[in-house]
Structure 1
Amino acid sequence: MKAYEVIVIGGGPAGLAAALAAHRAGSRVLIIEREERLGGILKQCIHDGFGLVRFGEKLSGPEYAERFIDEVLELGINFLTTSFVTELKKDGGGFCVSVVNRDGVTDYQAGALVLATGCRERTARQVLIHGTRPAGIFTAGTAQHFTNLLGQLPTKRCVILGSGDIGLIMARRLTLEGAEVLGVYEAKPTPSGLTRNLVQCLEDFDIPLYLSHTVTRVFGEERLTAVEVAQVDEQMKPVPGTARMIECDGLILSVGLIPENEVAGQLGVPMDRASKGPVCDNRFMTQVPGVFSCGNALHVNDLVDYVSESGELAGRYAAAYAVGKADDSDSGVCLGFSADESFLYLVPQQLRYQDRDKKAVLYFRSRKVLKNAVFTMSIGGKVVYTRKYSQLKPPEMERLEIDFGKYPIQRGGQLRFEIKEVMG
């Protein structure tokens, strides 16, 4: 059995950053990637806007990924492509990872695991669209793959359901390639994508956005011929009498992403219902010791820069855990983070007691649009930290670094976080 200190599952931006950080910390590292090439979803994201936070310049997805891939190759970090993890199990003080590829089935041993498996798109059936199963219905990522990697235009006249960022970007991309985008329909009363994408992808190309509307039915046998759209009420239910037919040959779905954590389930890693990823502490370690999570497998990020950041942190701590250099005094003691209902989610969910004197990075989203908002942290009912925001929006994730060493955190305590709107 081949042994490594750290095995990273997933070779996208989070996994690459984790592997590099673990290698720099002195660990022997293996990356396992199911696709033919490293880079993850970035390989097909030919638009720019990546790397503004990390590199201070606009890069396309492939350019951003290549900077990490080049470093992996230069440092000689081991990686497997077209390889699938079929089983994860605890093995003594470490883990056994079973992998299948062209060479057959091979078992690898690891002192620590980093789960960087990314996320997947919701499908038409997952959002309960009725009708037949004709060709012409694509997730936004699939349409992007056809257009950018295969050079095939998947539709000539389409409707886009959902105003997520990939859907907005594909509205522009398909328009540039000559397709007619009849409109973007969003069930929520507010858009789901970043403001910059709403402006650059819809407004600049005069593509209409219909809020509080959804696709209720599709028509066609071999190929999509039309969709039915309707206005929805506050409970997301179609409003009677508002349905209308739109003739089209394509329906592009941008209806949300789900962190992909099936392999984590094999180890019994507890999940957070809000973030859809593992419950983790400030080291990005899950509640299964030695298993770390990062990137979109932990929670869906807006910016790849933060995906890489969480990967680096997870990789660094995984390396320390694998070689026994982590400070594990009181290892079982974690302080819980309690977030009120104003948060859509808050990650991480715990602070290790021995790290109470260190800085930690928090990522969060508000549940609804808030103006003149104040983020507060309380200990024992007393507010000890505040941060003001002119506006918070669910589509825009916030990153916050807090120096917990400044506050009187006691063993067994609980930190409570709230977001409130204030007047003036």
Structure 2
Amino acid sequence: MKYNVVVIGGGPAGLGAAVEAKRNGAKSVLIIERDRELGGILNQCIHNGFGLHEFKEELTGPEYAGRFIKMAKEENIDYLLNTMVLNITENKTIEALGEEGLLDIEADSIVLAMGCRERTRGAIDIAGYRPAGVYTAGAAQRLCNMEGYMVGKEVVIFGSGDIGLIMARRMTLEGAKVKAVIERKPHSSGLNRNIVQCLNDYNIPLKLTTTISYIHGKERVSGVTINQVDKNKNPIKGTEEFIKCDTVLLSVGLIPENELSVDAGVKLDRKTSGPIVNNTMETNIDGIFACGNVVHVHDLVDFVTKESKIAGKNAALYSLNNLNTNETVKTTPGEGIGYIVPQNIDTEYNDDINLFMRVKSVCKDKKIVIRDGDKIILEKKRKHMIPSEMESININKELLKQITGNISVSVEEA
């Protein structure tokens, strides 16, 4: 089996990259998906709010995925389901195991689009036994929305990530009582609109600077003990409170799925846990590109699609020997900025580029400042910025060509 472009992952990032690769001249494109159907995480996201940027209308997750699946079929893109990629070799041969047995697939270029996975209880080390009734929020969402199982009746949610907030509403609509959403940080980890629509509209309390210190129950969860936390996120003695519940949902962060990337020699950014990429979304390995949540965790699927189109287009150009690679300059996060993607920029790139970033803390009446060395080249005033909402700044191609040194981005007083 030999293809111009092979995309690993059939979620929104993989679908967008595959369609764009085919539309930009790749004669043969293959998607490899480990699940039983294309669409990825979108299949279980039955709420609306997707597609406002990409399609200028509000869609559910399955509707959004369905549009790209239809495009992929119209472009005659091949795909393998129930197939797990085991290894990527130096010469871009992919070893995969699926319904047809062990496969060796040769690729001119590869797009990594494996998405991310949830942090589990083991990663956050909550004291107590290991009773039934503890789920990651995403696992509970799949059981509820796709498999038809109700996971509990009295629920406490630990962590205020978007999936946790959405599941607070979903469980309420299914008849459960959500007692509280517990968050260790002084601010929510999810989008403001989800706090309003999923918590405030249903009178579900959000307890900030609070942690779950103990999960009670041996056979089944019987309750949790919560504590307020100090500035180092350690429980404060004397602030204990018991909440009776039979279910705990964990929404405590996402980790990009990069075991394959590391085995292939791709360098990762310590801050994002995703590949270091340039503005073509190419990694440090020639011909291997990456996009979506495998690079950094996004808050909107529309931004995933935007990124995947860049990766798919350039993977196709690479396979056709039409991708010109020049020396790059680095992007460096300065004061108040957690990370920036892409980490490297080709200033000879003949198109506008977007810098994606997150601030480290809640900011009001600030501005994002981009410098070329000591010279300010761009400023963007923002009334309100929070770490849970990604910021994006466009640098047009005329300004891009004027850059002579490394770029730094910082948050400063407006």
Q: TM-score range by the shorter chain?
A: over 0.9
How far apart are 1:186 and its partner, in Å?
0.4
1:270 correspondence with 2:306? no
- Give the SS at the match of 2:89: strand
Q: Distance in 2 between matches of 1:212 and 1:350?
A: 36
Aligned to 1:361: 354
How far apart are 1:13 and its partner, in Å?
0.3
Aligned to 2:78: 78
How big is each residue's C-alpha offset from its partner over 1:2-23, in whole Å with a ceiling of 9 and x where there is no partner? 1101100000000000000000
The answer to whether the Cα contact below 8 Å between 2:348 and 2:401 also exists between their aligned partners in 1 is no
* Structural RMSD (CA): 1.2
How far apart are 1:228 and its partner, in Å?
1.3
Q: Within 5 A, what are the aligned runs for 1:208-227? A: 208-227=205-224
The answer to whether the Cα contact below 8 Å between 1:371 and 1:421 also exists between their aligned partners in 2 is no
How big is each residue's C-alpha offset from its partner over 1:133-165, in whole Å with a ceiling of 9 and x where there is no partner? 111000110110111111111010010001111
Q: Within 5 A, what are the aligned runs for 1:244-283? A: 244-283=241-280
- Give the SS at the match of 2:48: coil
Residue 328 (structure 2) aligned to one of 313, 323, 334: 334
- How many residues matched? 413
Aligned to 2:345: 351
Aligned to 2:370: 377
Instruction: Check 1:408–1:76 CA distance in 2 against 1; reply closer, same or farther (3 A cut).
Output: closer
**Identity of counterpart residues, as a percentage?**
44
How far apart are 1:421 and its partner, in Å?
2.7
Aligned to 2:229: 232
How big is each residue's C-alpha offset from its partner over 1:377-405, in whole Å with a ceiling of 9 and x where there is no partner? 11231112111111111111112211142
Aligned to 2:62: 62
Residue 163 (structure 2) aligned to one of 153, 162, 166: 166
1:394 correspondence with 2:394? no
Q: Distance in 1 between matches of 2:16 and 2:65?
A: 10
Aligned to 2:7: 8
The answer to whether the Cα contact below 8 Å between 1:184 and 1:210 also exists between their aligned partners in 2 is yes
Aligned to 2:18: 19
Q: Distance in 1 between matches of 2:264 and 2:148?
A: 40
Aligned to 2:410: 418
Q: Distance in 2 between matches of 1:282 and 1:131?
A: 46
How big is each residue's C-alpha offset from its partner over 1:203-249, in whole Å with a ceiling of 9 and x where there is no partner? 11010110000111112212111211110011100001111222211
How big is each residue's C-alpha offset from its partner over 1:164-210, in whole Å with a ceiling of 9 and x where there is no partner? 11111100110111101000000000111111111111111010110
Q: Distance in 1 between matches of 2:107 and 2:297?
A: 26
TM-score (norm 1): 0.95
Q: Within 5 A, what are the aligned runs for 1:49-198? A: 49-91=49-91, 95-198=92-195
The answer to whether the Cα contact below 8 Å between 2:12 and 2:301 also exists between their aligned partners in 1 is yes
TM-score (norm 2): 0.97
Q: Distance in 1 between matches of 2:296 and 2:233?
A: 24
- Give the SS at the match of 1:354: coil
Q: Distance in 2 between matches of 1:227 and 1:178?
A: 21
- Give the SS at the match of 2:56: coil
Structure 2 portions without partners, runs of 5+: none
How big is each residue's C-alpha offset from its partner over 1:327-377, in whole Å with a ceiling of 9 and x where there is no partner? 13x4xx21111111411211001112432x641111111111111111111
**1:254 is matched by which residue type in structure 2?**
S
Q: Distance in 2 between matches of 1:138 and 1:372?
A: 39
How far apart are 1:101 and its partner, in Å?
0.7
Aligned to 1:314: 311
